[in-house]
Structure 1
């Protein structure tokens, strides 16, 4: 049974108790299990994921992915379409919108509106 510790015992007894708990965990092998688990390992270790999980991770409808698959980065194994982490990042980057920025396409379209037509009129 555990001994009752006086309330004014101080931090020295608290450290001894902690050391005893750590020692018991180490003897049971539970300490290694506790230390080896990381919070960042909560994700699946699969290399490729399918439509449903990719759509869920991108927070978009699965049908949207299926309809536009010919224009999106992906992997194909026979008839099976799969996505990697890099594919998901690339899809996200393809649809980045910066409302205040001017793109090269905007500059080209402005020039196109200023050019005269190439059609000639027939004179009567």
Structure 2
């Protein structure tokens, strides 16, 4: 134990075969991941993440829907327009996905609330003679 403390204080600790294997494994993983920045999330690894806008085909692919569906409903969907070119951002894709969120349990509550809303008296005052 004293020798380990002495070698640590000496500045260059001696590494055994197990430590060298572990270090080699860590270095290999870092090389495969693209460095420490990629592991920490400081760097975008995919090309499409670097682009600000994407077209119909990639948007449809990312949403896992037919391109025709997007084209037919473009007037009701969030998008960007550059002249005649329609483009989508990451926020647009998320908004499109959120627009079509379905929660079956909430449907019954909404119907119940809307039924109660129809039973509430009007806020308009009546003229009395």
Report the equivalent of 2:18.
14
- Aligned equivalent of 1:70, options 70, 75, 93: 75
Question: Aligned pair in 2 of structure 1 residues 105, 41: CA closer, same or farther (>3 Å)?
Answer: farther
Q: Compare CA radii of gyration and give the structure with the larger one.
A: 1
Partner in structure 2 of residue 118 of structure 1: none
Aligned residues: 94
State the shift of 1:63 in Å. 0.3
Q: 1:14: how far off?
A: 3.0
Give 1:41 shift.
1.6
SS in 2 for 1:76: strand
SS across alignment from 1:60:
coil
Structure 2 gap segments, 5+ residues each:
1-14, 120-129
TM-score, normalised relative to structure 2: 0.57
The higher-RCO structure (CA 8 Å, 6+ apart) is: 1
Residue in structure 1 matched with residue 102 of structure 2 by the alignment: 97
Distance change >3 Å, CA 100–CA 56, structure 1 → 2: same
TM-score, reference length from structure 1: 0.59
Q: CA deviation at 1:100?
A: 1.4
Cα distance per residue 1:49-101 (max 9 Å; x no partner): 00000000000000000000000000000000000000000000000111111
